[in-house]
Structures are given as C-alpha cells and as structure tokens.
C-alpha cells in the first residue's frame, strides 16, 4: 500500500503540525491496535505514533502481528494523504523481525527512524503469574526490542533515531500489580542505554518514551484488574492519551532531538517524579 507525500489540511494534531519528520522513513513495530474486546476503544499508542508521524511528514511502515490492525492504521494514514506500507510478523521471532525490517527498508528506500512499541501484560501478582505468563511477557516486551535493535544496527543510516515505549510501571510500581510487566519495562532501561552506547559512534540515537496512566484499551483492561488505577493521583489531574505519547516519540525521532540519546522521557503528568 502506498500514497503520496502528505499535505496536512485536517485531522488529529493538524493544528500543531510542523513537518517535524519531513522525509523520515519510519518503521513502527507494534503500529496496529488491539481493542481487547472493548466496544468503543480509545486510540492506541502504536496507531497514534504512525498517524502523527505521517502528519509530520514521515513515510511510514506499519508492522504488527495482526495484519488487519496494521491495515487499519495504514488506511488512516493514506486517507489523510500520507504514505504507508504494511509489514506483518511476530516481533518476538528472530526470523520475522529480520524480514520485517528488511521489507520495510525495501519499501521505504531505507530506514532512518524506528519506533519499538510492542508490549503485553499477563498474570496478576506473583502468586497469579505462571512461568508461561512470565516467559511470554519477556519475549514480547524485552526480547522483541533486543532483536529489532540487533537487526537494525546494520540497517539504520547515520543520523537515524530509535524510540522505545516503556511504562512508569518500571519506576512507580503502585500503578501495576503485574510483576512480569513491571520487570520487563524496567529491563528496557538497560537495553536502551546499551544500544545508545553502541549506536552512538554512527550518530544513531536511542531513547525511551515512558508513558504513565494512559487511556488506551490496555489501560482500561488494567483498570478492570486493578480498579484503584483510575483514582491514582496525577499531578496534572488527568490520564494521558495516545496522542500525548505519540508527541514525545515524534520529538525524539525528529532532528530537534539530534543531541539527545540514552534518556528516558516520562509522559505521565508528573506521576513518576512529583509524587
């Protein structure tokens, strides 16, 4: 699927669109969206990253394990006048990751921006987390990022940027009772810093975006498991949206952040640093 260079006339975020990613060739792994059975699901982070990046001038490849979800994201981009390609595969499978990145590079004419947004949650408290739960969460939330960073090292061009979606659960465990999820998100900090160090000589940046309590389908599911999640005091007085998180990714992927690498940017309304 392909379109043409984007000309923004309307749509989410268009009133503040500045073409910050003009010319960027971006692969978003986890760019589809899961609804978890919700009848009226809010926008997901992966889809928001893809849509905002396209509005900001990027040519986008949408990768997801669910081809229908990737297709919906790509359709939204193309319908707004942007360029989108679809790649399909399991981000926790080494051969799939290699194929997705190579296919995206072929479709886009190279890759100079990469957003890693895969993540799941499973289990409940230590007593309710099976070994299978633990291994699956680590596979999707940590192994997939390692695999993508390893393959991308040979694909990304000098001056490229990588972003990774983490969670304030890595620091503020009061927001989650899911030990596998908490541990996996904490592990991303070490992985990102190691990658930032290894990528730096080639002028490639690696940063983490750390969302707090965000109103997504997964967030609403988490609130069903942990009802007090929705009453957690947040300094700025509200849960975030997928657009809030996508804005942070867009900034870190843009040339405005050319001297920023190896950092974690909280997008949590002050939750992890004020309380």
Rounded Cα gap, residues 31 and 28, in angstroms: 5
Contact 12, 51 (CB under 8 A): yes
pLDDT value at residue 4: 29
pLDDT value at residue 11: 41
Instruction: List, for residues 200-221, the tens digit of each pLDDT value.
Output: 999 999 999 999 999 887 777 7
For 182, other C-beta atoms within 10 Å of its C-beta total 20
pLDDT value at residue 275: 62
Quote the mean pLDDT of the chain.
90
For 62, other C-beta atoms within 10 Å of its C-beta total 34
Can you read off the two tokens belonging to residue 21? 């990613």
Q: How is the chain split into domains, by residue range?
A: 14-267
pLDDT value at residue 121: 83
User: 199-205, long-range: CB within 8 Å, 24+ apart, which pairs?
Assistant: 199/153, 199/156, 199/162, 199/261, 200/261, 202/156, 202/158, 203/158, 203/159, 203/160, 204/156, 204/158, 204/159, 204/160, 204/161, 204/162, 205/160, 205/161, 205/162, 205/252, 205/257, 205/258, 205/260, 205/261
pLDDT value at residue 3: 35
Ranges of residues in the chain whose predicted pLDDT is under 70:
1-17, 173-176, 222, 225, 275
pLDDT value at residue 7: 34
Instruction: List, for residues 86-140, the tens digit of each pLDDT value.
Output: 999 999 999 999 999 999 999 999 999 999 999 988 888 899 999 999 999 999 9
Runs of H (alpha helix) within 60-93:
67-79
The pTM (predicted TM-score) of the whole model is: 0.90
| 36 catalytically annotated | no
pLDDT value at residue 22: 96
pLDDT value at residue 262: 98
pLDDT value at residue 264: 97
pLDDT value at residue 17: 58
pLDDT value at residue 175: 59
Name the catalytic one among 181, 199, 259, 275: 181
Which CATH number, 3.40.50.720, 1.10.3720.10, 3.10.50.40, 3.30.70.20, labels domain 14-267?
3.40.50.720
Query: Within a 13 Å sphere around the CA of 233, how many CA atoms are in the beta-carbon half?
Result: 4
Can you read off the two tokens belonging to residue 70? 């990737």
Beta strands in 67-129 (DSSP E): 84-88, 113-116
R_g of the chain computed on alpha carbons: 17
């Amino acid at each position: 699927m392909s379109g043409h260079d984007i000309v923004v006339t309307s749509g989410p975020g268009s009133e503040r669109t500045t073409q910050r990613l003009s010319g960027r060739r971006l692969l978003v792994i986890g760019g589809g969206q899961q609804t978890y059975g919700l009848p009226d699901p809010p926008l997901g982070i992966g889809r928001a990253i893809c849509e905002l990046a396209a509005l900001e001038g990027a040519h986008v490849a949408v990768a997801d394990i669910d081809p229908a979800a990737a297709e919906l994201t790509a359709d939204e981009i193309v319908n707004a006048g942007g360029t989108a390609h679809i790649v399909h595969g399991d981000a926790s499978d080494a051969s799939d990751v290699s194929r997705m990145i190579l296919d995206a590079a072929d479709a886009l004419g190279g890759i100079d921006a990469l957003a890693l947004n895969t993540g799941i949650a499973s289990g409940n408290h230590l007593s309710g987390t099976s070994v299978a739960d633990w291994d699956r969460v680590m596979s999707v939330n940590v192994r997939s990022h390692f695999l993508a960073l390893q393959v991308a090292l040979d694909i990304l061009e000098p001056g490229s940027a990588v972003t990774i979606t983490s969670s304030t659960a890595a620091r503020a465990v009061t927001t989650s009772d899911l030990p596998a999820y908490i541990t996996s998100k904490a592990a991303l900090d070490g992985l990102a810093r190691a990658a930032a160090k290894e990528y730096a000589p080639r002028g490639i940046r690696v940063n983490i975006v750390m969302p707090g309590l965000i109103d997504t389908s997964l967030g609403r599911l988490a609130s069903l498991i942990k009802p007090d999640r929705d009453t957690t005091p947040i300094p700025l007085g509200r849960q975030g949206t997928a657009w809030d998180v996508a804005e942070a990714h867009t900034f870190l992927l843009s040339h405005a952040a050319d001297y920023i690498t190896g950092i974690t940017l909280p997008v949590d309304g002050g939750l992890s640093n004020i309380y």
